[in-house]
Structures are given as C-alpha cells and as structure tokens.
Amino acid sequence: MKVKPYPHKCPNCRAQALLPAIEDTTVERLHDGQFYTVTVHNLEVSRCTACSEGTISYDSSGRIDDALRVAAGILMPAEIVAARLRLGVTPDEIAGQLGVHEAVYARWEDGGQLQSRAFDKLLRLYFANPESFRHNVAWPHVAASATLAESPRLLDL
C-alpha cells in the first residue's frame, strides 16, 4: 500500500498540516468499569501544526493497550500465549473451558482485546492448575453456535 507523503490532512481542522512526532503521551482509558491514566514514553503520533490535534496509529494504540494492561494488572498477550504453550493445549480448548468464543480468546492472545479482570483471574486459575480448573470451574463443552437454552449450566447463573 502506497503511503502519501507528509503532511497529511488533519481529521480535526482539515488543514494539510499533520506531521509525524515522537512524544510522551498520557491518556485516560476506561477498562472494565474503571478509569486508568497511563503514560507511554516515546510514542509515535501525528500532530497537526495548525490546531495541535494529535492522532495515534494502530501500532501506537497497541503500546497504550499494553500500558493499560500493566496498570490494570492483567496478563499481557505474550504471557497468555506462553502459559498456553507451556501447558500444551490449543486456544480452542482453553476457550471451551472458559466458556468464551474461540475468536474472543484469540483476540486476548493477539492483543486485539483486553480481557476483563474477572476473565484474567480465570485465566490465571486455569494456567496455575488446569486439571483442578477443569474439574471445579470449567463450563461443559458448548459448540460456538449453541444458544443459552442448549447449555443449562449457563442458565443456572
């Protein structure tokens, strides 16, 4: 894909004045019902010289998400992958045990979605003792297309 040369058009003021910059950036993000203020140093941004509006690239957004994971105390994607590989199980097996769709679990592993603190605790329980988890906590295997009516244990909540 061909990238247009700078300056780009600002999404705020529409001026052709958006230039790349490296900045320390502080943002407030909501996660799991709680606000977190995180600072990321040396973040690649684009800043408008006309109105000072800043934009953040997809890659930079990932660095902010990682800082949010640290602030919230939840597992990083690499930690989730490493723990799963250590146990020798597939992503689909863990998703089934946790009662989440395979695509949701995949986003936790690839960093596309932050898991809630509740699911983070379930992941930690699973990784610490998968046999005990399967015996005491895990959902019965439910096909991804199953409805709540087809899974009585889900309705018992």
Task: Check residue 149 and report its DSSP letter.
Answer: G
1 confidence band (pLDDT: 50, 70, 90): low
For 57-110, write each residue's pLDDT tens digit.
888 999 999 999 999 999 999 999 999 999 999 999 999 888 899 999 999 999
Angle among Cα 135, 138, 141 to the nearest 5 degrees reads 110
Q: Which fold has domain 18-72?
A: Ubiquitin-like (UB roll) (3.10.20)
For 34-44, write each residue's pLDDT tens digit.
999 999 999 99
Listed by start position, the domains of the chain span 18-72, 77-155
Q: Across the chain, what does the average pLDDT equal?
A: 87
155 confidence band (pLDDT: 50, 70, 90): very low
